[in-house]
Chain A
């Protein structure tokens, strides 16, 4: 498994830390709102997996695309999605990114190159291939990244999309967050290989497994995969070994149902925020500066979402056809 070599600047590392903290605090807030009955629909948080979102998106340009999953808040935030409109979407407000019709599982901010969270597992991969095809046809060096999980890597859409990208040399990075479980089913049961990245060999594409709790390692692998795509050399498959500290949703506990307390504690000890703080040898003062800045953003998002109106009834009948 690739570890970071850490030739990264403190500035870059600091930015990624900030992004991870922003994701963490947004999702803690979303969870609080959910428990307070203020969220419409469900929420799947990615707490524990923030290094993946932050590391990948730090390797992208603003005009690159991402597509994500039902567990997509982190990718959305890392790609620049606006927090107030995102929280408003979760809370069923008409000012939400999807006008309260998509909810947490369909967050999108196309103006930021975020082509959506897609809640049907695997469905985003063929669409990412199509966005890559559009970029190739227009002759620009833009790249699409598709995030998916260990579960989706067993879906036929993964194979078909990888194959299309490989034969047409499409500028797509397949980024697999292997958080070890598809809801309750362990990857070691459902998946034919230990390292999902080896499946890239079937498509004659580069594959690499990285430590998904180490944001620098994720960034370095992503930078390489994105550069490969930008040069017109086709897709790569990057797998990050990671872990969600929460259940699949609020319907299952953090541990004790299909994950043991020991396993959970082992991963919790490798919290990507703490790993990054150690790498940066961050002082208490520096940590507080990051925390204060993020709290301001979160407060503004809450204020915006709380004060936004619910949709008028007419909204139910809008946006069906262009």
Chain B
């Protein structure tokens, strides 16, 4: 199979879905100029600047506008540049997009995709490094997707664009240059299905987004010490495939959950709670969490490394769970 990068896979998905459905259009800050981001390169030239539309720095305005356009029959895809900027647009996402169908008794649907690149390891500091997907699993009515490799980011983005509901589509900046195999052609992935990324028998490592990579690297290191780790990626966290995760934990009896977001109230906390409800009798050790420390993400490389999760931290948590 051919190999392409995570950002090229996003780009392919956008090209293919805009080609397939003329109701799909892209909107956001600096999306029209190819040189700005590899994820959107070439789209403005191919589809014109009506459908690949630069916006003012106006997150509340253009996100609300996307909700309106979605209600009126279009399928907007927003580019948030960074999830940190999306904080200016929580009202149209949480109060409007996610609730309108329910609140209006099913009269409308809101087929909107919000692409939200996020994350650290890039010395961008407290307001340009956050992972905020945990906030949004508290919002009923919103799909939340967290793809960790090129094949999933392409397949899930295509599915998200075809979904008749609002989707928060998280992209991990640390993964943008990651290369991986991606099938040719119309490759889609199902929303709501976890995937086993590496099979193993001794412990389950559940990795969200960038930390699915960390878990795969940790599994390699653990293999060198005779530990056979299974890596499972939930891929979507609303809906969360609890059964898919629990099935692995029933097999291994041990579990570490790793995420790049903060530990308190995090996605890992939700997964740990759900998995123990479903597989308590199979657990031989407490489920442990690896996450960013509960402090802002500092700029300095050395300090950032202290705050953010790492392969070593996942290995250490796994060893503790195995001891």
A residues in contact (CB < 8 Å) with B? 65, 96-102, 106, 108-111, 115-116, 118, 120, 123, 125-135, 137-138, 144, 156-157, 159-161, 163-164, 167, 318-322
Check A110 against B108 for contact (C-beta < 8 Å).
yes
Nearest chain B CB to A37 CB, angstrom units: 23
Q: Are A126 and B63 CB-contacts (below 8 A) given A101-B102, A108-B107, A120-B95?
A: yes
**CB closest chain-A residue, reference B112:** A130
Check B56 against A98 for contact (C-beta < 8 Å).
no
Cα–Cα distance between A111 and B141 once the two chains are bound (Å) = 23
Our pick among A110, A115, A127, A320 for the contact of B141 (Cβ within 8 Å) is: A320
Which residues of chain A are within 8 angstroms of B92 by Cβ–Cβ distance? 123, 126-127
User: What are 29 inter-chain pairs, A to B, with CB distance below 8 A?
Assistant: A97-B104, A100-B105, A101-B102, A101-B103, A102-B104, A115-B108, A120-B91, A123-B91, A123-B92, A123-B96, A126-B64, A126-B65, A129-B64, A130-B67, A130-B72, A131-B68, A131-B69, A134-B68, A134-B69, A134-B73, A144-B68, A156-B60, A164-B65, A319-B101, A320-B102, A321-B101, A321-B141, A322-B109, A322-B111
Check A126 against B165 for contact (C-beta < 8 Å).
no
Check B72 against A318 for contact (C-beta < 8 Å).
no
Our pick among A99, A130, A132 for the contact of B106 (Cβ within 8 Å) is: A99
Check B103 against A102 for contact (C-beta < 8 Å).
yes
Q: Are A110 and B104 CB-contacts (below 8 A) given A126-B63, A126-B64, A135-B72?
A: yes
Check A322 against B103 for contact (C-beta < 8 Å).
no
Cα–Cα distance between A246 and B92 once the two chains are bound (Å) = 30
Check A160 against B61 for contact (C-beta < 8 Å).
yes
Which residues of chain B are within 8 angstroms of A132 by Cβ–Cβ distance? 68
Interface: B208 (CB within 8 A) = no
Which residues of chain A are within 8 angstroms of B137 by Cβ–Cβ distance? none
Which residues of chain A are within 8 angstroms of B107 by Cβ–Cβ distance? 97-98, 108-111
Check B65 against A129 for contact (C-beta < 8 Å).
yes
Cα–Cα distance between A228 and B154 once the two chains are bound (Å) = 43
Nearest chain B CB to A103 CB, angstrom units: 9
Check B61 against A127 for contact (C-beta < 8 Å).
no
Which residues of chain B are within 8 angstroms of A102 by Cβ–Cβ distance? 103-105
Q: Mark B81-103, 1 if CB is under 8 A from A, else 0.
A: 00000000001100110001111
Check A131 against B105 for contact (C-beta < 8 Å).
no
Nearest chain A CB to B7 CB, angstrom units: 27
Which residues of chain B are within 8 angstroms of A100 by Cβ–Cβ distance? 105
Q: Are A127 and B68 CB-contacts (below 8 A) given A98-B103, A137-B74, A319-B105?
A: yes
Cα–Cα distance between A161 and B64 once the two chains are bound (Å) = 9
Which residues of chain A are within 8 angstroms of B62 by Cβ–Cβ distance? 126, 160, 164
Which residues of chain A are within 8 angstroms of B66 by Cβ–Cβ distance? 130
Which residues of chain B are within 8 angstroms of A109 by Cβ–Cβ distance? 107
Which residues of chain B are within 8 angstroms of A126 by Cβ–Cβ distance? 60-65, 67-68, 92
Nearest chain A CB to B92 CB, angstrom units: 6
Q: Are A322 and B104 CB-contacts (below 8 A) given A131-B69, A161-B64?
A: no
Which residues of chain B are within 8 angstroms of A319 by Cβ–Cβ distance? 101-102, 105-106
Q: Are A134 and B102 CB-contacts (below 8 A) given A126-B92, A164-B56, A164-B62?
A: no
Which residues of chain B are within 8 angstroms of A159 by Cβ–Cβ distance? 61
Nearest chain A CB to B77 CB, angstrom units: 13
Check B105 against A101 for contact (C-beta < 8 Å).
yes
Check B64 against A130 for contact (C-beta < 8 Å).
yes
Cα–Cα distance between A160 and B57 once the two chains are bound (Å) = 9
Nearest chain B CB to A55 CB, angstrom units: 24
Which residues of chain B are within 8 angstroms of A111 by Cβ–Cβ distance? 107
The 8 closest A-B pairs by CB, nearest first: A126-B64, A130-B68, A160-B61, A134-B72, A99-B105, A130-B65, A127-B68, A98-B105
